[in-house]
Amino acid sequence: MARASARQAGVRVGDLLELDVTAPAANGVFVARLGELVVFARGTAPGERVVAEVTQVRRNFCRADAVEVLQPSPWRRTPPCAVAGACGGCDFQHLQPDYQRRLKAAVVCEQLERIAGIDWRGEVEAVQPDDLRWRSWMRYAATPDGRPGLRASRSNKVVPLPDDGCLIDACCPPVGQRTVGGRSFKVDADAFWQPHVAAPEVLTRAVVEGLSPRPGERALDLYCGVGLFSAALARAGCLVEGVENNLRAVECAAENVPTAVFQCADVADHLSGRRDGAELVVLDPPRAGAGRAVAADIARLARRALAYVSCDAATFARDAAALQANGCRLDDLRAFDLFPNTRHVELVAIFTGPGCA
């Protein structure tokens, strides 16, 4: 069916539309239709009937924000934060946490199927804290009059923090030392650290359980940051080599895991010239994913198994398809709710390398 253009439908920014909302889309919004015109509506839920104000008109779709709920979802709640909806940080705060996870599972399932042909029917696992006060670090913006705030959705406008502050901020010390399972990590202010307070332990456990590292095995930790997974692999007796392009992170990693070797390099450059493989590979790339060339190199180098940690289901699906096309087999895929109240989800996938199929 041809999609109607917004112009044909006569829709303009500021119009109020009465919508029946159907399914979750990616990016924390929900699909509704105005005749044949697709509307991506924010702050609503499947099954709801809402009045939404149009915020953006594109040729084949428009965006709108719910301003009145005529028929609420049974899973709607009063958002705990006074600026939820105005602030762009929490897409799902108006929905109960269990239901948020069901929505995220549906989106992951759809993306894996559509992009990689992967049939995944798993759940998004809850991690405590599973609602508020979970962020180990926050980046605030300043309002024109100097108050702390956060950006509005799809805008540079800064929404001032409410009196009780941002409710997902767990107020951890901003930089310095972090402790995971009794082990201390040095983290530079410019280096990456997992945002959820429980993520380091949850992800480390999932990676180690999935790979079952054996003493003496060689392990490559790609996009290694300050050495979170390197530390766990070294503790299991592996000979670990980490690759990371942020020099400050590499310096921290070398202090955090003195028995491992760390290279400050771009992963794609490092792998393209590399001949010697490793029994185990861990990769935890940024949201953009690793890309097809890196996936092909990993498939060439991983002898026994690899763990792919991802914060973006769409780029993970693209890379998973490339790994499978190069002979890797997906053995296990878990999803964790490490970004409660937002649309984001963390995946840990375990693949068998082509060398041991």
Ligand X SMILES: C[S@@+](CC[C@H](N)C(=O)[O-])C[C@H]1O[C@@H](n2cnc3c(N)ncnc32)[C@H](O)[C@@H]1O
Interface with ligand X by CB under 6 A: which residues?
192-194, 223-225, 228-229, 243-246, 249, 266-267, 284-286
Told to judge if 311 belongs to the known catalytic residues of this protein, a careful annotator would answer: yes
Give residue 75's identity as a one-letter amino acid code.
W
Residue with smaller CB distance to ligand X, 267 or 345: 267
Residue with smaller CB distance to ligand X, 50 or 299: 299
Give residue 278's identity as a one-letter amino acid code.
A
Q: Per residue in 153-170, is it b (16+ CB within 10 Å) or e — as a string?
A: beeeebbbbeeeebbbbb
Q: At what angle do helices 247-256 and 228-235 cross, to 10 degrees?
A: 30
Least spacing, CB of residue 277 vs ligand X, in Å: 19
User: What is the separation of C-alpha 32 from the centre of its chain, rounded to a whole number of angstroms?
Assistant: 25
Least spacing, CB of residue 339 vs ligand X, in Å: 13
Asked whether 237 and 212 are in contact (CB, 8 A), the reply is no
Residue with smaller CB distance to ligand X, 142 or 261: 261
Active-site hit among 166, 311, 328, 356: 311
Least spacing, CB of residue 288 vs ligand X, in Å: 8
Asked whether 320 and 327 are in contact (CB, 8 A), the reply is no
Which residue has the CB atom at the shortest distance from ligand X?
225
- Give the position of tokens 């202090």: 255
Least spacing, CB of residue 265 vs ligand X, in Å: 7
Q: At what angle do helices 313-325 and 292-301 cross, to 10 degrees?
A: 50
- Cα 73–79–83 angle (5° rounding)? 130
Least spacing, CB of residue 345 vs ligand X, in Å: 14
Residue with smaller CB distance to ligand X, 124 or 249: 249
Residue with smaller CB distance to ligand X, 66 or 250: 250
Residues tagged active-site: 311
